[in-house]
Structure 1
C-alpha cells in the first residue's frame, strides 16, 4: 500500500461518510489474521499502517522477563535493554519488527476486501437509519418487479417490499408504475435493511390527506380517527381547531378536487369524510353517513349505542354485508345496534303486549287470592 491508498480512504470518508480512522483500524485487525494465516505465526503480532505514507509494518509483541521460557513470546531483560534502552523493565511489552518482504501484496489484497465490506456496511447503516426515522410515513417509489405476487418497489438506493397482505385487493401493479406506499416497518437483516411497505394500512389514507389538505398539514384541521377496508371504503373523522374553518369542506376541497386526488391514488376506493363531535350521539350519527338517523341512545358505561333510522334507510345504514355499520363502529370504537322505526314499533308493541299479559296475570292471581281468603273466612 502507498500514499495513493491513503488518499483513496480520504475520498471514501468524504463521499461515503465512512471514517478513515475506523477503516484503517479495521484493516489493521484484518491484517493480523492474514499474517498468521500466511506465515503460520503463533506470535502476538501488531500491524501498524502509517497514516501519511500507507506503509505497513508488522511487529511481534514480546513480554520482558528475567528468565526466557518461550522465545516466541518472551525476551530477556538484558536483550530488551540492549535493543530498546535501559528504561525497559520486567513485565514491559516491547515490539520487534517482523515485516515479511512480500507482505505488502497480501496487505493490499486484504485492505481492498475490508474497504469494500465496510463501504457496504456503511451504506446499509445509512439506509437503515434513514428509513427507520421515516416509519409510519408515506413514500413514493417505482414498481421494480413482481415475484409470486410480492411487489418490489425501487426507493432510490434500496427496495421496499409490498407483501400480498399489504396490497389493495384487486389492484394491479405494473413494472415502472409510480406508487405511493406507507412505510410499515424497517428491519435490519444480514442482507441489509428490509423496508416493508403497505397500501392497505389506514395510515396511508391519513398521510395522503396530510399531503393533499393544507389545513391538515398546518394543524388547523385534525384527523381524529380512520377506519378502512382497503379497496372498498374508508371513513375518516376530522375536526377543526378554528371555528371559521369547515373540516369536511377543507378535506373535500374546491369542486371535490382534494378528495378526488386521494380516491384516484387509492384506485377508486370510496371515502366518507365525517365531522367529529365530542357528543357521542352526534358523532355516531355522523359516522353512519350517508344514511339519515332518527335517534341515538348511548350507554356510556358499555360504550354502546342503539340507533334508529327510517325504514327506507336501514339497508343504507347497515351497508352491503354490514360494511357501513362495521366501519362506523371501528371509527367511533363503540358498539352500534341499528334498528328501523318499524322494528322499534314492533318491539314496543311486543313489550306492551308482554306488559299487558303480565298485568292480567297479576290481576288473575290477585282474584284467586281474594277468593281463597273469602272461603277461609266462611
Structure 2
C-alpha cells in the first residue's frame, strides 16, 4: 500500500500535465517517485484497468538501464504513476555541465546505456516513443543511466504534449511522411489511419540525442531561429540536417546520418547500430579506461558537477537551450500557425482556450506534412 503523505517533497516544477513528487512506499520502506497527471488535460485512450494490466507486465521487467515501474492508480481525475526514485541529473543536465557539448567518449558512455535500455524494451514488446534527454536520468551514486516514462505515452494523448512526443525528436513518419518499416506497426499517434513502426521512431530519437550530445544543438532546428517549431518540423520532413561541427569524427557523423535517414527501410536498426564501427571503437576504449579506473572517476565527477548545478540552477538564460517546456512548444506552435495563416492571406480564429492538438493538426496541414 502506497500512501502519499502531506510531507512529500516536490521533485520538479509543474510541467505539462504532470507534477512529480518524492514519497515513501510504506509497504516496502523504499523511496519512490510519483508522477501525478491530470486526465482532464488529455484523453484517456484505454480504461484504467487495461492500463494497469499493461503496467503490471511492464513492472515485472527489470533492467539496470530502465527505471522500475511499480504501480499506477486513478484518483478522481488524476492518474498516478509510481516509479523507482532516481536521485541525480538527467542527460540534459549533464550537457549543461559539459558547457553544452560532450566529448565523443562521454557521449558513447551514455549512448551505449540508452541503447541497452531501448533494446531491452523492444525485446519485450514495448517501445518508448518519447525518448529525449529529459527522460534519461543518471543515478548520482553509480553513474547508471535509467530511461524513464516508457510504455504509457500511448494511453494518454495530451494536448499539452501533442500526443506524439516532443517536436525536436519526431521522426518524419510521425508527421505523415511515407516509408515502409519492418515488423509490427503501431497506429499513428495523431489518430489518423497512417501507421508507423514505433521501433524505428525510437532509433530516430536516439540519433537526435546523439547529435545533440556531440554538437550541442538540434539536428533539424533553424540556426537563425532555433525556436521556430514549424521550421524544425519542415526540416525533419525534408531530411535537412544541420552540418555537424568540424571536430566530430567521420565515424560518429556516419552513425548519426544513418540513424536519421528519413526512409525507414534505410534507417539503421538497433542491431545494426550496435555493429557500427563508432560504437565498437568507443566501447572498447571505455572498457580499457575502466580497467584503469580512469573512466569511472571522470564520469562520476561529471555527474557530481551536473547534480550540483541542477540544485543551484534557476530559470535563467544560461541553461542549455535544448530544454523546451511544453508551454514553450505550444506558444511556438500558436505563433507559427498564425504566421503561416497570415502569409497565406487567411485570418486565424483560434483562441487560446481551443485545444492545442487542433492547432497542431492545422499547422501540419498548412505545412503539407500530412
Q: TM-score, normalised by structure 1?
A: 0.23
* Larger relative contact order (Cα-Cα within 8 Å, sequence gap ≥ 6): 2
